């Protein structure tokens, strides 16, 4: 059935475009529990406002909007600090999530009942809670393809680069060349990187990173990543490292890769954290590690000795999408970036 208004702060959106996300794989592969039959997935939507609740002030019927994947109340302690993905109010199942995940995340569209059980955007219509806080109105005639990725992957890639604390001329290494990583590459250049190195094993993704992102690339199936990064950085390692892979990392060998696969098959671990371990070992002393890749539990075999003794800093988090929507939209409108470069077909 089509969604209906439940609260006066809701809006109903008629979907005109939506995207799939790499993190949807975590649901399909069972890394994120509590999906139920009939649940609607999708957390990267945009569309036309069809109806608004009586308390909605910023939207009206007919507005064309992009909807961020995080659901945030806008009024709690964390929202007031623009930590929108940490909202304390939007997830009705926060207590259950805290028991399973060790923390209480905000609600997300189409991303399990631990994160609220909200229907997602891979449908004709979507109910948007707290509609004054999330959606951003697109007043220009930019195509859906140019603005759709404001819903998630563009702000996620940008926040990943921002969290890396990039200084002018820094060498930035990025694990993964999926869509979030492609935007992290673009964002690293925007923030002053002098060199960007992208790591993956999928030829077409490496090629996109090289041609569209102007990155140097490493195929981890053909080269030892740590050795190659040391060769490329005078033995120091990259200044900033970004793990855009997350909990389903693959590796070609090594005891940690074997143990990850074995424990995952036996449900003895929640995350395959090879990329994060490798980033810690590769990052230069005093460097920064940024983690936009999704983790859902408590990965083991983390090299905390290296992390501490190398004086590393780590920043992570689900994206505070609402913080970035308008400034990134302004970049698109000015022609500084065309996000549709990631669309392959």
Classify residue 272 by its DSSP letter: B
Alpha helices for 148-202 (secondary structure H): 153-163, 179-190
Q: Of the CATH numbers 3.40.50.300, 3.40.309.10, 3.90.230.10, 3.90.180.10, which one belongs to the domain with range 11-152+319-342?
A: 3.90.180.10
Q: What is the 3-state secondary structure (H, E, C) of 211-256?
A: HCCCCEEEECCCCCHHHHHHHHCCCCCCCEEEECCCCECCCCCCHH
Q: Which residues are 142's β-sheet partners?
A: none
Tens digits of per-residue pLDDT, 81-118?
A: 999 999 999 999 998 888 877 888 899 999 788 888 89
Tokens of 67: 């909807």
Is residue 199 helix, strand or coil? Answer: strand
- Rounded to an integer, what distance in angstroms lies between the CA atom of residue 292 and that of residue 143? 27
- Rounded to an integer, what distance in angstroms lies between the CA atom of residue 153 and that of residue 133? 19
The DSSP H or E segment spanning 37 is none
User: Where does residue 78 rank: exposed (0-12), middle (13-18), buried (19+ CB within 10 A)?
Assistant: middle
Where do the structural domains in the chain lie, given as residue ranges? 11-152+319-342, 153-316
**Spatial contact of 108 and 115, defined as CB atoms under 8 Å apart:** yes
CATH class belonging to 153-316: alpha beta
- Rounded to an integer, what distance in angstroms lies between the CA atom of residue 235 and that of residue 229? 8
Tens digits of per-residue pLDDT, 232-267?
A: 999 999 999 999 997 667 777 666 666 666 666 656
Per-run averaged pLDDT (10 residues), the chain, 345 residues = 95 96 73 76 93 98 97 98 97 87 88 88 96 96 97 97 99 97 98 98 98 98 97 99 84 68 65 90 98 82 95 97 97 97 91
pTM of the full structure: 0.92
């Amino acid at each position: 059935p089509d969604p209906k208004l439940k609260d006066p702060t809701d809006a109903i959106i008629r979907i005109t475009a939506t995207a799939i996300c790499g993190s949807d794989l975590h649901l399909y592969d069972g890394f994120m529990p509590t999906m139920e039959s009939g649940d609607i997935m999708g957390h990267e939507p945009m569309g036309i406002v069809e109806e608004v609740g009586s308390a909605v002030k910023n939207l009206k019927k007919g507005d064309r909007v992009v909807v961020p994947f995080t659901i945030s109340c806008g009024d709690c302690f964390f929202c007031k600090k623009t930590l929108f993905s940490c909202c304390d109010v939007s997830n009705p199942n926060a207590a259950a999530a805290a028991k399973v995940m060790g923390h209480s995340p905000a609600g997300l569209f189409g991303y399990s009942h631990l994160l609220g059980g909200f229907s997602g955007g891979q449908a004709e219509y979507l109910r948007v809670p707290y509609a004054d806080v999330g959606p951003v109105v697109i007043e220009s005639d930019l195509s859906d393809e140019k603005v759709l990725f404001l819903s998630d992957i563009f702000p996620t890639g940008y926040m990943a680069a921002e969290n890396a604390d990039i200084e002018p001329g820094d060498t930035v290494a990025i694990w993964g060349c999926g869509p979030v990583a492609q935007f992290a590459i673009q964002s690293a250049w925007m923030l002053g990187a002098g060199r960007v190195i992208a790591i993956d094993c999928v030829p077409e993704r490496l090629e996109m990173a090289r041609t569209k992102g102007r990155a140097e690339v490493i195929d981890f199936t053909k080269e030892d990543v740590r050795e190659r990064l040391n060769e490329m950085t005078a033995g120091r390692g990259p200044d900033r490292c970004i793990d855009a892979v997350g909990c389903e990392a693959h590796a070609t060998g090594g005891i940690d890769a074997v143990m990850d696969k074995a424990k995952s098959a036996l449900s003895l671990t929640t995350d395959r954290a090879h990329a994060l371990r490798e980033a810690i070992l590769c990052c230069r002393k005093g460097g920064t590690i940024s983690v936009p890749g999704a983790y859902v539990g408590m990965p083991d075999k983390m090299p905390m000795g290296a992390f501490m003794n190398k004086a590393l800093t780590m920043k992570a988090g689900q994206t505070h999408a609402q913080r970035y929507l308008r400034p990134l939209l302004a970049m698109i409108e000015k022609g500084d970036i065309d996000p549709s470069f990631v669309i392959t077909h």
